[in-house]
Homo-oligomer: A and B are copies of this chain.
Amino acid sequence: MDLQEKTIESRKVYDGKVIRVRLDKVLLPDGREGMREIVEHSGAVAVVPVDHDNRVYFVRQYRKPLEKLLLEIPAGKLEPGEDPQECAKRELAEEIGFTPGELRQMSFMYSSPGFSDEKIYLYLARDLTRYRLENDEGEFLEVECIPLADALDMVLDGTIEDGKTIAGILLASHFLSL
């Protein structure tokens, strides 16, 4: 069976700063018609910064959709045309004030493929040099440093709740053979 869904009609329903929303009328594999609600996003990078003592730098920030603070690895949206590797370096500098000597792409992930095209590139940063502590304008966060082994426990016991952070910490544990 050909599972592809051909677009019959596409309508923009919201055009925002971070997201755009469109409604696609599609032809389903059985010949019937269906509707797909799609959130367009420019993509993002997330970085697991691990220092010489195997400690990970996190940021704690308020997430309005959840109305609570969340512990996450440093991350940020890709600017139009920006190279993910450059974006990773920028976010590290802006959010935790470090320059990585080594930056390795571990993987990438689609965060919510059912309704969004958001793609997140996951990096491992090592050989960290303190650069300066400069927060993005309009970005409010606290930096927190946690041993990787403890962070892994926090993923397994549910203390860490952010998807890209769960994936990032588990991947970093594999790549660093913890």
Q: Does A145 contact B (CB under 8 A)?
A: no
Stoichiometry (number of copies): 2
Q: How far is the CA of A11 from the CA of B129 in the complex (A)?
A: 44
Which one, B17, B110, B162, contacts A110 given CB within 8 A? B162
Q: How far is the CA of A116 from the CA of B17 in the complex (A)?
A: 14
| Residue of A107, A117, A138 ringed by the most chain B CB atoms within 10 A | A107
Q: Are B158 and A107 in contact (CB under 8 A)?
A: yes
- Chain B residues within an 8 Å CB radius of A140: 1, 3, 28-30
Q: How far is the CA of A144 from the CA of B1 in the complex (A)?
A: 14
Q: How far is the CA of A170 from the CA of B174 in the complex (A)?
A: 9
A interface residues, tally (CB under 8 Å):
68
- Chain B residues within an 8 Å CB radius of A158: 107-108
Q: Are A64 and B110 in contact (CB under 8 A)?
A: no
Q: Are B155 and A107 in contact (CB under 8 A)?
A: yes
Q: Please give the distance in Å from A37's CB to the nearest CB on chain B.
A: 5
Q: Are B156 and A174 in contact (CB under 8 A)?
A: yes
Which one, B4, B65, B138, B155, contacts A116 given CB within 8 A? B65
CB<8 Å pairs between A and B, sample of 19 = A13-B16, A16-B23, A17-B37, A18-B115, A19-B37, A21-B39, A24-B64, A39-B39, A39-B65, A40-B65, A41-B112, A63-B113, A66-B113, A70-B113, A107-B158, A111-B111, A116-B116, A163-B164, A163-B167
Q: Give A contacts to B, CB under 8 Å.
A: 1, 3-5, 13-14, 16-19, 21, 23-24, 26, 28-30, 32, 34-41, 44, 60-66, 69-70, 72, 75, 77, 107-118, 120, 138, 140-142, 155-156, 158, 161-164, 166-167, 170-171, 174
